[in-house]
Amino acid sequence: MDELLFLQDEVVPALLKGLRVSILLIVPSAFFGLFIGILVGALRVYGSRPVVFAADIYVTLFRGIPLVVQLFIWYFGLPYLGIYLSPFTASIVGFSLCSGAYHSEYIRGALKSIKRGQMLAAQALGFSKFQMVVSVILPQGLRRALPGCGNEIIYLIKYSSLAYMVTCIELTGEAKILASHSFKYTEVYLAAGGFYLGLVSIAGWILHRLERRVAIPGFEHHRG
């Protein structure tokens, strides 16, 4: 009985507070990350040589350095340059840039899978390279990239838990505080895990709907 009361009176309110912060972190990070990913992915395929080089360096750095370290740099490192970010802003910046690097890889693969013939056809009609990428390649590439990018967003939901390392107290942060006060690690973290599972399930459902909505004959992802 005690356990239930503890859950009801302490765990759930604290985690709901954390959940709100988590969602405020995840939603903008997902959008910015996807935006960066599309931009960088397209530049890596269609950019000029120096642009491709710069974009590759971005991806190498942000995929190669552990996210915690990146967050530390944004939060603890930038003040050395006189730039102060709040824990919340530092987290969004870190998540967006990291997520963008991963997205760009999915996008790049999808763009490259578009048959070259369609680009020739677009050019033959008088499209500029930019028009071709925007009206012919991206609409197809993004449909192909959707399952991969969806995966990255699901992953973002879980690595958003790193925000508490730079004192942005979100779901995991609240759980950690409560657990170390009450010493009920198992209960609290199980409950937090349940919250993440719920978030991921909702995101998965939305992504699935989106995939169905933008489906076009010839672009279906065949399911077994």
Partner 1 sequence: MESEPILVVENIKKAFGPRVILKGVSMAIRRGELKVLIGPSGAGKSTFLQCINFLVTPDAGEIRLEGRPIHHSRKRELYAYRQQVGMIFQDFNLFDHLTALDNVMIGLVRVKGMDRKSARERAMAEIERVGLKEHAGHYPAQLSGGQKQRISIARALAMDPKVMLLDEPTSALDPELIGEVLAVIRDLVANGMTMVMATHQIGFSRAMANEIIFMEDGLIVEQGPPSVILSDARCERTKEFCSKITELYGEAS
- Residues engaged in binding partner 1 (CB under 8 A): 115, 117-118, 120-128, 131, 135-136, 139-140, 143, 216-219
Spell out the SS3 assignment of 19-41: HHHHHHHHHHHHHHHHHHHHHHH
How far is Cα 76 from Cα 47, in angstroms, rounded to an integer?
Answer: 34
Minimum distance from residue 134 beta carbon to partner 1 (Å): 9
How far is Cα 33 from Cα 70, in angstroms, rounded to an integer?
Answer: 15
Minimum distance from residue 136 beta carbon to partner 1 (Å): 5
Angle of the 185-213 helix axis to the 12-46 helix axis, nearest 10: 40
Nearer to partner 1, 41 or 87 (CB): 41
How far is Cα 46 from Cα 64, in angstroms, rounded to an integer?
Answer: 23
Nearer to partner 1, 84 or 219 (CB): 219
Nearer to partner 1, 16 or 121 (CB): 121
Q: Is the dihedral of CA 133, 135, 136, 137 positive or negative?
A: positive
Minimum distance from residue 120 beta carbon to partner 1 (Å): 5
CA 129 to chain centroid: 28
Nearer to partner 1, 136 or 157 (CB): 136
Minimum distance from residue 129 beta carbon to partner 1 (Å): 9
Nearer to partner 1, 96 or 140 (CB): 140
How far is Cα 54 from Cα 59, in angstroms, rounded to an integer?
Answer: 9
Minimum distance from residue 82 beta carbon to partner 1 (Å): 43
How far is Cα 191 from Cα 115, in angstroms, rounded to an integer?
Answer: 47
